[in-house]
């Protein structure tokens, strides 16, 4: 047929075809541009990544404009599903899972789909466009594409940078431990990734030649969100039922930590960070255990090293035993005698037995207060004037100011 | 052949100029911001008239959400849905490991179940609310379009203040007798607070927070946090029955739950259920003329506790050496791996059961 239509006759037919095609292209429902599926990366927070199908004629698009963004007919025309297969995290066949929810829209030249939640970086999504489901069905094959955004990271880099309390010896009634990470972590809970190990042998700290025994049920069995808001610190509570003297779990199993013994917290590298990647390495925090500390915090035992007038020297408050690394940072502050806060930088030293305050402006001579909030605790849960385990009906032994805080006056001397 | 190629090229050109996209900047429609902007969601609890109380721990708020027609649009009841976490994950464009279920609550009017989840990991996790109806259909609720009121929890330090790393986890929310009650846990201080506020919320009422102590043995008292609780009436007096993290069941008369300077309120321990577990949810129901408390725990399964002894139970004040003590209970071994529990109707509970690794099933279960 092609040969018969060729030759001289083609010369006059070509312009005609051109005209016809031009008309057809504007008015016919089918475009001659190939259908294409593309994933467009996010432009901004307001315009997240979306899938677009191009190659549709204006008439085809206008036939879809009447549909709302969540019209139930959309997924039979354009369906986005998670996976299956590598990169999706899903092995179940796509046909047995509901499609990804989102909003559909018609632009000048495309159908777009913006998911309800932004597409996950690195995850594979299967996009199926079925032209037979257009308002005027097109007799064309179903178009399928697997799309994905680039992964945020592929190599583990996050590590444990500290464990608090970080002293060599901790009391056997220790209630909580903070684990600090170098970058935001995921939502996994410490129970799944941290073990308390008793080091039974005589091996040196940090070595593995000691015989080891895992202490089961050491931690509070709660999967609640004990992450800091930025997910760089996790709070691990020992089971208070075992720590507390005299109640049932304590009588049944004893305290998880026993004075005179050596232990390690083993943090597994399988704990995943906010990018879903494991830690670069596991972490071992070894320590010895001493007698319980079950007395209230007594501010009268604190010493204040006062800086000189006219300087920005550090105010150093020393405690006879460590206070809680997390709470002390926000429970202590400095004010003038007439209760105006003094701005400054706060740091902790000497295994949380020293609180350092560096003022923004030089010290003026006069009266000041060190202010301790009533929620100040040590790592065993003892508060000012009230031990974690107090005798019933025992009032606080320290006078409480009306605003629920404690004040320790000090003076910056005149030059 | 040459001619054919030219025509094809021309055709392609015409088609391109007629139908190709202009250099367009697509701006897919964004949802209008009118409703609550939740940072996190769960736990949940329904009050009268279909009001859904939803805690937002990250924002330190309790929302009262008016679900409107969203509460009534589905088939009545709740059908079983196998591996619901996988289906929810698929709907939200991710895998089941990215779905963290925070609570399950039943609307007593439609008996539809509502599931709150956090999608994603770490600081990027986002909240979602889904409804499961009597046909097993799962619908995402556009919370951003709902009518709502909210109240701030008291004494929460503002986020992002210097070195402040404190976070609050609200562990339970309930409505009773005109007040919304909430219990919470902090990732720092080990306090036990029970907080309540009158509903409807008003600006004038910031709520009342009481420090409640677990009256311990040997005359000791400690600050173990209450994890789950349920409002309950003994005689004609309203009580709160609380389950602590170290397993005691404790009762407090509401009339005594008032903030008293320097003197925390001490509850009466009426049961001890063993170590190594935490309470998840408690529901009250009647069967054969008797009332029961059904309590789900993380590692000790589901316990059925007759409530008839709650008023007269002998307070536990002496050290306990047996496995358990106090009010009697029965272990319901047929209800295994329960992660969330609520009352579905007069004869059924609804549970999310399974594990995060293998997925959770939504099931209606006969009340034991």
- Closest chain B CA to residue A383: B189
Rounded Cα distance, B70 and B54, in Å: 15
- Residue A415 to chain B, least CA–CA distance (Å): 32
Cβ–Cβ below 8 Å for B246 and A239:
yes
Pair (B239, B93) in one structural domain: no
Q: Which residue has the higher pLDDT, A187 or B17?
A: A187
Minimum mean pLDDT range among A29-33, B268-272, B331-335, B356-360: A29-33
Residues 117-156 of chain B whose Cβ lies under 8 A from any Cβ of chain A? 118-126, 128, 138, 140
Rounded Cα distance, A372 and A358, in Å: 17
Three-state SS at A251: helix
A321 falls within a domain: yes
- The residue range of the domain holding A46 is 28-147
Rounded Cα distance, A81 and A73, in Å: 16
Which tokens belong to A14?
């070509």
Residue A368 has pLDDT above 50, yes or no: yes
- Closest by CA to B295, choosing from B362, B247, B237, is B247
pLDDT confidence tier of residue A9, bands split at 50, 70 and 90? very low
- The residue range of the domain holding B228 is 166-281+308-321
Which of B4, B56, B123, B355 best probes binding to A when mutated, by most A CB atoms within 10 angstroms? B123
Q: Which of A18, A125, A246 sits opposite B217 (nearest CB)?
A: A246
Predicted pLDDT at A25: 37
Predicted pLDDT at A403: 53
Minimum mean pLDDT range among A15-24, A298-307, B137-146, B195-204: A15-24
Q: Which of B11, B22, B165 sits opposite A21 (nearest CB)?
A: B11
ipTM of the complex: 0.85
pLDDT confidence tier of residue B189, bands split at 50, 70 and 90? confident
Residue B142 has pLDDT above 60, yes or no: yes
pLDDT confidence tier of residue B240, bands split at 50, 70 and 90? very high
A244 falls within a domain: yes
- Whether a cis peptide bond, with omega within 30° of 0, leads into A84 is yes
Find the helix packing angle between A10-27 and B2-19, rounded to 10°: 20
Count the neighbouring beta carbons within 10 Å of the beta carbon of residue A95: 10
pLDDT confidence tier of residue A330, bands split at 50, 70 and 90? confident
Pair (B187, B118) in one structural domain: no
Residue B77 has pLDDT above 70, yes or no: yes
Pair (B144, B99) in one structural domain: yes
Residues 172-231 of chain B whose Cβ lies under 8 A from any Cβ of chain A? 185, 187-191, 215-224, 227
pLDDT confidence tier of residue B314, bands split at 50, 70 and 90? confident
Residues of B in contact with A241 (CB under 8 A): 224, 245-247, 275-276
Pair (B221, B106) in one structural domain: no
Residues 6+ apart with CB under 8 A from A298: A384, A385, A398
Pair (A320, A354) in one structural domain: yes
Residues 6+ apart with CB under 8 A from B227: A222, B171, B172, B183, B185, B243, B244, B245, B278, B279
Residue with token string 């007269």: B312
Predicted pLDDT at A31: 63
The residue among A290, A320, A337 that closes a domain is A290
A16 falls within a domain: no
Residue B158 has pLDDT above 80, yes or no: no
Q: Which residue has the higher pLDDT, B290 or B298?
A: B290
Minimum mean pLDDT range among A264-273, A401-410, B115-124: A401-410
The residue among B121, B152, B183 that closes a domain is B152
Pair (A60, A132) in one structural domain: yes
Average pLDDT, chain A: 86
pLDDT confidence tier of residue B262, bands split at 50, 70 and 90? low
Q: Which of B28, B123, B138 sits opposite A112 (nearest CB)?
A: B28
Rounded Cα distance, A190 and A194, in Å: 6
N-term to C-term CA, chain A: 110
Count the neighbouring beta carbons within 10 Å of the beta carbon of residue A124: 19
Q: Which of B4, B92, B216 sits opposite A246 (nearest CB)?
A: B216
Q: Which of A26, A225, A245 sits opposite B169 (nearest CB)?
A: A225
- Closest chain B CA to residue A104: B28
For range B142-164, the mean pLDDT: 72
For range A157-173, the mean pLDDT: 97
Residue B155 has pLDDT above 70, yes or no: no
Cβ–Cβ below 8 Å for A377 and B190:
yes
B360 falls within a domain: no
Q: Which residue has the higher pLDDT, B320 or A73?
A: A73
Residues 6+ apart with CB under 8 A from A399: none
Q: Which of B163, B165, B278 sits opposite A346 (nearest CB)?
A: B163
Query: Mind listing the pLDDT tens digit for each residue in A81-101?
Result: 998 655 556 666 656 789 999
Residues of B in contact with A6 (CB under 8 A): 1, 3-4
Cβ–Cβ below 8 Å for B91 and A224:
no
A10 falls within a domain: no
CB-count exposure of residue A166 (10 Å: 0-12, 13-18, 19+)? middle
What whole-number percentage of chain A has pLDDT above 90?
68
Minimum mean pLDDT range among A72-86, A113-127, A290-304, B131-145: A72-86
Residue with token string 């009032």: A395
In sequence order, the β-bridge partners of residue A285 are A265
Residues of B in contact with A272 (CB under 8 A): 121
For range B294-301, the mean pLDDT: 88
Residues of A in contact with B11 (CB under 8 A): 17-18, 21, 32
Predicted pLDDT at A241: 82
Pair (B102, B171) in one structural domain: no
Pair (A171, A247) in one structural domain: yes
Residues of A in contact with B185 (CB under 8 A): 222, 224, 226
What whole-number percentage of chain A has pLDDT above 70?
83
Count of residues in chain A: 415
Total tally of structural domains belonging to chain B: 2
**Are the C-beta atoms of residues A62 and A107 closer than 8 Å to each other?**
no
Is the Cβ of B22 closer than 8 Å to some Cβ of chain A?
A: yes
Residues of A in contact with B261 (CB under 8 A): 400
Pair (B181, B312) in one structural domain: yes
Pair (A308, A282) in one structural domain: no
Is the Cβ of A59 closer than 8 Å to some Cβ of chain B?
A: no
Total tally of structural domains belonging to chain A: 3
The 3-state secondary structure of A149-207 reads: ECCCCCCCCCCEEEEECCCCEEECCCCEEEEEECCCECCCCHHHCEEEEEECCCCCCCC
pLDDT confidence tier of residue A22, bands split at 50, 70 and 90? very low
Helix (H) or strand (E) holding B3: helix B2-19
Helix (H) or strand (E) holding B330: strand B330-332
Cβ–Cβ below 8 Å for A221 and B276:
yes
B200 falls within a domain: yes
Q: Which of B7, B166, B215 sits opposite A14 (nearest CB)?
A: B7
Query: Mind listing the pLDDT tens digit for each residue in A178-224?
Result: 999 999 999 988 888 999 999 987 655 555 555 889 999 999 887 77
For range B342-358, the mean pLDDT: 92
Predicted pLDDT at B355: 84
Pair (A239, A304) in one structural domain: no
Is the Cβ of A107 closer than 8 Å to some Cβ of chain B?
A: yes
Predicted pLDDT at A300: 94
Three-state SS at A137: coil
Q: Which residue has the higher pLDDT, B195 or B131?
A: B131
For range A104-133, the mean pLDDT: 96
Cβ–Cβ below 8 Å for B188 and A235:
yes
Predicted pLDDT at A12: 37
B334 falls within a domain: no
Predicted pLDDT at B259: 62
A351 falls within a domain: yes
Residue with token string 């092609």: A2
Rounded Cα distance, B158 and B166, in Å: 9
A192 falls within a domain: yes
pLDDT confidence tier of residue B356, bands split at 50, 70 and 90? confident
Cβ–Cβ below 8 Å for A14 and B6:
yes
B18 falls within a domain: no
Cβ–Cβ below 8 Å for A247 and B278:
no
Pair (B317, B213) in one structural domain: yes
Which tokens belong to A160?
């444990």
Residues of B in contact with A324 (CB under 8 A): 188-189
Pair (B140, B256) in one structural domain: no
Average pLDDT, chain B: 82
For range B319-335, the mean pLDDT: 82
Pair (B141, B172) in one structural domain: no
Residue B211 has pLDDT above 80, yes or no: no
A152 falls within a domain: no
pLDDT confidence tier of residue B161, bands split at 50, 70 and 90? very low
Cβ–Cβ below 8 Å for A395 and B263:
yes
A72 falls within a domain: yes
Residue B126 has pLDDT above 80, yes or no: yes
For range B227-235, the mean pLDDT: 91
Which of A119, A138, A224 best probes binding to B when mutated, by most B CB atoms within 10 angstroms? A224
- Closest by CA to B141, choosing from A70, A83, A90, is A70
Task: Indicate which CATH number applies to the domain containing A403.
Answer: 2.60.40.1220
Residue B9 has pLDDT above 50, yes or no: no
- Closest chain A CA to residue B317: A247
Residue B26 has pLDDT above 50, yes or no: no
Cβ–Cβ below 8 Å for A251 and B320:
yes
Residue A398 has pLDDT above 60, yes or no: no
Pair (B80, B174) in one structural domain: no
Task: Indicate which CATH number applies to the domain containing A263.
Answer: 2.60.40
Cβ–Cβ below 8 Å for A239 and B275:
yes
Residues 6+ apart with CB under 8 A from A142: A128, A129, A130, A131, A132
Pair (A165, A237) in one structural domain: yes
Cβ–Cβ below 8 Å for B91 and A251:
no
pLDDT confidence tier of residue B194, bands split at 50, 70 and 90? confident
- Closest chain A CA to residue B6: A14
Name the pairing type of β-strands B168-176 and B147-152: unpaired
Predicted pLDDT at A248: 73
Pair (A59, A104) in one structural domain: yes
Pair (A126, A80) in one structural domain: yes
């Amino acid at each position: 047929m092609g040969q018969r239509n060729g030759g001289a006759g083609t010369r006059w037919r070509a312009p005609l075809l051109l005209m016809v095609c031009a008309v057809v292209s504007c008015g016919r429902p089918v475009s001659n541009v190939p259908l294409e599926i593309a994933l467009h990366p996010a432009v901004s927070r307001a315009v997240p990544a979306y899938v677009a199908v191009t190659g549709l004629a204006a008439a085809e698009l206008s036939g879809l404009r009447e549909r709302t963004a969540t019209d139930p007919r959309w997924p039979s025309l354009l369906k986005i599903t998670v996976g299956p297969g590598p990169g999706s995290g899903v092995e179940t066949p796509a046909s047995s899972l509901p499609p990804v929810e989102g909003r559909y829209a018609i632009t000048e030249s495309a159908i777009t789909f913006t998911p309800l939640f932004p597409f996950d970086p690195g995850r594979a999504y299967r996009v199926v466009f079925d032209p037979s489901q257009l308002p005027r069905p097109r007799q064309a094959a179903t178009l399928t594409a697997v799309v994905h955004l680039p992964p945020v990271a592929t190599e583990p880099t996050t590590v444990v940078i500290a464990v608090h309390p970080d002293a060599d010896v901790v009391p056997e009634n220790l209630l909580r431990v903070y684990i600090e990470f170098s970058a935001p972590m995921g939502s996994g809970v410490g129970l799944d990734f941290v073990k308390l190990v008793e080091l039974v042998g005589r091996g040196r700290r940090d070595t593995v030649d000691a015989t080891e025994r895992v202490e089961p049920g050491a931690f509070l069995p709660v999967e609640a969100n004990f992450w800091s808001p930025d997910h760089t610190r996790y709070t691990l509570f020992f089971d208070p039922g075992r720590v507390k003297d005299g109640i049932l779990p304590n009588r049944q199993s004893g305290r998880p930590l026993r004075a005179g013994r050596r232990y390690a917290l083993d943090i597994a590298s399988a704990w995943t960070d906010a990018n879903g990647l494991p830690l670069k390495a596991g972490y071992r925090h070894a320590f010895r255990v001493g007698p319980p500390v079950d007395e209230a915090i007594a501010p009268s035992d604190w010493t204040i090293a006062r800086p000189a007038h006219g300087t920005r020297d550090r105010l150093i408050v020393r405690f006879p035993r460590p206070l809680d690394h997390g709470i002390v940072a926000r429970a202590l502050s400095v004010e003038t005698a007439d209760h105006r806060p003094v701005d400054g930088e706060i740091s902790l030293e000497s295994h949380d037995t020293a609180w350092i305050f560096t003022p923004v402006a030089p010290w003026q001579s006069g009266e000041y207060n060190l202010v301790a909030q009533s929620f100040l605790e040590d790592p065993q849960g003892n508060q000012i004037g009230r031990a974690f385990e107090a005798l019933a009906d025992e009032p606080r032994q320290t006078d409480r100011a009306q605003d629920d805080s404690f004040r320790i006056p000090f003076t910056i001397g005149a030059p | 052949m040459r001619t054919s190629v030219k025509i094809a090229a021309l055709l392609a050109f015409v088609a391109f100029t007629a139908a190709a996209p202009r250099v367009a900047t697509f701006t897919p429609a964004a949802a209008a911001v009118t409703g609550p902007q939740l940072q996190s969601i769960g736990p949940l609890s329904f009050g009268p008239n279909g009001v859904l109380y939803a805690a937002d721990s990250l924002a330190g708020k309790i929302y009262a959400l008016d679900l409107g027609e969203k509460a009534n649009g589905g088939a009545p009841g709740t059908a079983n849905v196998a591996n619901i976490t996988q289906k929810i994950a698929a709907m939200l464009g991710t895998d089941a490991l990215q779905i963290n279920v925070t609570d399950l609550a039943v609307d007593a009017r439609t008996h539809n179940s509502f599931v709150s989840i956090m999608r994603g990991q770490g600081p990027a996790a986002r909240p979602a609310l889904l409804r499961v109806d009597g046909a097993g259909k799962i619908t995402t609720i556009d919370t951003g379009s709902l009518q709502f009121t909210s109240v701030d929890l008291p004494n929460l330090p503002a986020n992002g203040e210097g070195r402040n790393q404190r976070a609050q986890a609200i562990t339970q929310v309930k409505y009773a007798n005109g007040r919304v009650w909430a219990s919470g846990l902090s990732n720092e201080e080990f306090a036990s607070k029970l907080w309540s506020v009158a509903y409807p919320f008003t600006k004038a009422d910031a709520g009342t927070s009481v420090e409640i102590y677990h009256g311990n043995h040997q005359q000791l008292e400690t600050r173990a946090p209450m994890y789950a609780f349920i409002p309950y009436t003994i005689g004609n007096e309203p009580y709160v029955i609380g389950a602590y993290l170290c397993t005691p069941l404790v009762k407090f008369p509401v009339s005594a739950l008032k903030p008293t300077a320097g003197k925390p309120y001490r509850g009466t321990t009426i049961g001890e259920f063993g170590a190594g577990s935490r309470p998840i949810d408690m529901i009250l129901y009647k069967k054969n003329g008797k009332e029961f408390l059904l309590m789900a725990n993380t590692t000790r399964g589901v316990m059925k506790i007759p409530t008839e002894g709650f008023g007269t139970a002998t307070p536990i004040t002496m050290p306990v050496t047996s496995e358990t003590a106090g009010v009697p209970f029965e272990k319901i071994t047929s209800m295994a791996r329960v992660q969330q529990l609520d009352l579905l109707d007069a004869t059924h509970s609804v549970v999310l059961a399974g594990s995060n690794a293998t997925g959770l099933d939504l099931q209606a279960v006969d009340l034991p």
